[in-house]
Amino acid sequence: MANLEKLKVRNEDEDERTFLCGFRDWTPKCLQFFADIHWFIPFISLCSLVQGMLVSGFINASIPHIEREFGLTSTQSGILLASNDLTGFLFVMFVSYYGEKGHKPTWLGAGSILIGIGAFIYSLPKFMKGDYQPLSTTATFDYNKYELCHHNSSSTIIDLPSHSCTITDNSSGLYLTILCVANMLMGIGATPLNTLGAAYLDENVSPKNSPIYIGIWYGMIILGPSVGFSAAAGFLNEYTNMDGKIPDGIDQLSPLYVGRWWYPFATLGWILVFNGFILMLFPKKMPGALKIREKAIKKGHVQEESKELEEIRKRGFIGFLKATLMLLKNKYLVLVLLASSAKMFIATGVSPFFSKYLTMKYGADPTKANSMIGVILVIGALGGLIIGSIIMRFLDIKKSIKKATIISIVLGVLNCFMAFSYEIKGCDPIDLVSSRQSITFDNGTNAFCNNNCGCLKEHYNPVCANSITYLSPCMAGCTTQKNNITDFTNCACVTPFNVSTKTNENAYQMVQSVTEGKCDQNCDNIYIFLIFIILTIMTSFIGVTPKNMITLRSVPANQRSFAMGLQFLMVRLLGMLPGPIVVGQLFDSTCLIWKYDSCGAKTNCAEYKLESLSNEIKYVSLAGNLINLAFFLMAIWVYKDPHGEEQGVEVIDGKHTTFDEIGQTNPLQVTEDEKDNDQNNNLGDRNQENTEL
């Protein structure tokens, strides 16, 4: 009980300010009423909710709109998304090491403020660029001049005029840099939340009540992205420019439309800044926290700290590295974390582009796609957590690491089959004309209807006629544009339906109009596909609790925080960091029609090869799930069944050791005397627990 005595001494030596609300020496009496965990939980939950809405909700939902406004490729979008996890990976060691012994509410408050500032910076590129001009890439070059076919060019397709390329045209790199920096700041700010938030809650309540508070906080983390996706639909319904007026020639279903993606970042960020200053005012430790911990150790609810590890920690950074090396020697733990990284690679890689996928593959209304994602996240995530809890209770997983591993293997097999849901038929491939087109006359002769039109390959303004989509009105051979910018007539490539006896080319130059936008692609099966996605999300969240239990129970009690830190590092380094970049490259590799800037450089993809895109996502999802399954199979092979884990087997440094071998009493065994003492003290304990709660 040496550590218990050490805890008592530490309690006596604690500065009075440790338990007071305020900032440094400023601790007014009026604030001490709030020195209670019940006041702390709403503010840390608000921070988690808004952070999840911004980073995992609004950013992912707005990716297609940001690509259009700033001319970004999917690969560049992947880099933007990965920048958040990059800084989280780089700073987690610093934050977890120094924040553990520091003033956790100050760290949490500083993180909240940093997320808020990063959110505001994320909106700056919109204010810097000004109004979005969908039909004209820059003010110095007007694509509208090339809308019509003038029949005075030497070819059907011409290159962009060289004089249109100016230094100011190529500014997408600057905007991408600002967006990445802002996302990095939000990643740094979220690091204390992910590493110190649960620790502060756990150390300030009794072990019996700790799951309740952590569950409320974790529920807000799950709810954040769902609320973000749902709320994004409202913001994106408004046009991106300040006046909100949609230009003539496009609507919300147009591939050129951009919603007001920047608005939540410019407004909600300040909530986090204000919330951060409030978090900083909470005490380092809640009143009575040390007494609660002392009682927990005395009852055996919390194991005593390892003397060896405490000595290692005194060596500073060298000790931290040595403790990390101890974890890496635990083969079972490392294999489980590698499996989790493979699963997270899929989730973080596909989710940012899922809204775009629903729109392209299944014809989802762009204004409703994000709401759909929000709904399926709530149903799948919450349903998975509830089912996972029921399975844990039914199979008594808490007493067996091996059972938790088996559950993860079963879920891995199911997810492998779920990967084939991307083969569900959606929209028909687009029948697109982007080059010279010939038409056949009734006398059997052929002619090119858009010959010598001088159309720009870089100009994408699709129109539809006769179930064929044309790259632009010029490509359809249209020579007349009426007062309405969308009304194009005299289109040579549009064959009349009700005329059967025409014998020369000129006869086809009669008035024929086109419809703005792409032709109907007969999209179907979106709800069937979403049902399978809900099941995929549900099976993923069923395994959340077993995986966390494996991480916590496969190491000594005082090494669990290190294990969670290692999980944070590996999952982000191997899963969340490369996932969006790789999947973004897969999207770009299946692009059918690119959009170009005024210098002729590729920007964002306008149309995809749907079948190829579906296959690529299916393969990467299947590969990730197979890797996840393989690592869990290796983990259960490495793990040696203690054939009596409930009889007192502990995993120490990767080895299974009984409590008798290390000279300790099994804390799960309760003697008859202890049972009698517990019954005698039951009433007093109830009163004390009510005070602690």
Domain locations in the chain as residue ranges: 37-133+171-286, 315-425+527-641, 429-435+449-496+510-520
User: Which candidate, 599, 657, 4, places its Cα nearest to that of 295?
Assistant: 4
Question: How many Å apart are CA 589 and CA 75, to the nearest integer?
Answer: 10
pLDDT at site 355: 84
Question: How many Å apart are CA 550 and CA 611, to the nearest integer?
Answer: 39
User: Which candidate, 265, 243, 260, places its Cα nearest to that of 69?
Assistant: 260
CB environment 474-484: b (16+ within 10 A), e (fewer): bbbbbbebeee
Q: Are the CB atoms for 246 and 74 separated by under 8 Å?
A: no
DSSP β-bridge partners for residue 651 = 656
Phi, psi (rounded to 5 degrees) for 396? 55, 50
Phi, psi (rounded to 5 degrees) for 31? -85, -15
Q: What is the DSSP letter of 338?
A: H
Question: How many Å apart are CA 310 and CA 163, to the nearest integer?
Answer: 69
- The total of other beta-carbon atoms located within 10 Å of residue 33's CB is 9
Phi, psi (rounded to 5 degrees) for 77? -65, -40
pLDDT at site 121: 95
Q: Are the CB atoms for 551 and 651 separated by under 8 Å?
A: no
Biggest CA–CA distance in the chain, Å, is 108
Question: How many Å apart are CA 51 and CA 279, to the nearest integer?
Answer: 15
pLDDT at site 300: 54
Question: How many Å apart are CA 133 and CA 141, to the nearest integer?
Answer: 11
Q: What is the DSSP letter of 496?
A: -
Residue 599's Cβ-count burial label (10 Å; 0-12, 13-18, 19+) is: middle
Q: Are strands 515-516 and 463-465 parallel, antiparallel or unpaired?
A: antiparallel
Question: How many Å apart are CA 73 and CA 344, to the nearest integer?
Answer: 23
Which two three-digit tokens encode residue 513? 């109009």
Question: How many Å apart are CA 143 and CA 135, to the nearest integer?
Answer: 6
* CA distance to 12, 438, 507, 630, per residue, from 446 (Å): 97, 6, 13, 59
Residues 6+ positions from 484 with CB-CB distance below 8 Å:
248
* CA distance to 54, 79, 174, 285, per residue, from 179 (Å): 13, 10, 9, 37
Question: How many Å apart are CA 437 and CA 323, to the nearest integer?
Answer: 69
* CA distance to 93, 107, 194, 199, 466, per residue, from 189 (Å): 14, 9, 10, 17, 54
What DSSP line would sit under 81-144, residue for residue? HHHHHHHHHHHHHHHHHHHHHS-HHHHHHHHHHHHHHHHHHHHHHHHHH-S--TT-SBTTB-GG
Question: Residues 489, 495, 498, 499: what is their CA dihedral angle, to the nearest 10 degrees?
Answer: 110
- The total of other beta-carbon atoms located within 10 Å of residue 209's CB is 16
Question: How many Å apart are CA 179 and CA 468, to the nearest integer?
Answer: 38
Q: Which of 1.10.10.60, 3.40.50.1100, 3.40.50.360, 1.20.1250.20 would CATH assign to domain 315-425+527-641?
A: 1.20.1250.20
Q: Are the CB atoms for 398 and 545 separated by under 8 Å?
A: no
Residue 318's Cβ-count burial label (10 Å; 0-12, 13-18, 19+) is: exposed
Q: Order across the sheet with 515-516: list the strands.
A: 432-433, 468-470, 463-465, 515-516
Type of residue at 53: M
What DSSP line would sit under 205-261, residue for residue? S-TTTHHHHHHHHHHHHHHHHHHHHHHHHHHHTSBSSTT-PPPTT--TTSTT--B-T
Q: Which residue ranges in the chain fall short of pLDDT 50?
A: 1-13, 137-140, 163, 166-169, 301-303, 397-398, 440-446, 497-510, 642-693
Same fold, 37-133+171-286 and 315-425+527-641: yes
Query: Reduced to 3 states, what is the DSSP secondary structure of residue 358?
Result: helix
* CA distance to 245, 251, 428, 475, 599, per residue, from 461 (Å): 19, 12, 20, 10, 18
Question: How many Å apart are CA 229 and CA 61, to the nearest integer?
Answer: 6
Question: How many Å apart are CA 524 and CA 516, to the nearest integer?
Answer: 22
Q: Which of 3.30.70.100, 3.50.50.60, 3.40.718.10, 1.20.1250.20 would CATH assign to domain 37-133+171-286?
A: 1.20.1250.20
Q: Are the CB atoms for 288 and 209 separated by under 8 Å?
A: no
Which two three-digit tokens encode residue 577? 């960091």
DSSP β-bridge partners for residue 624 = none
pLDDT at site 264: 92
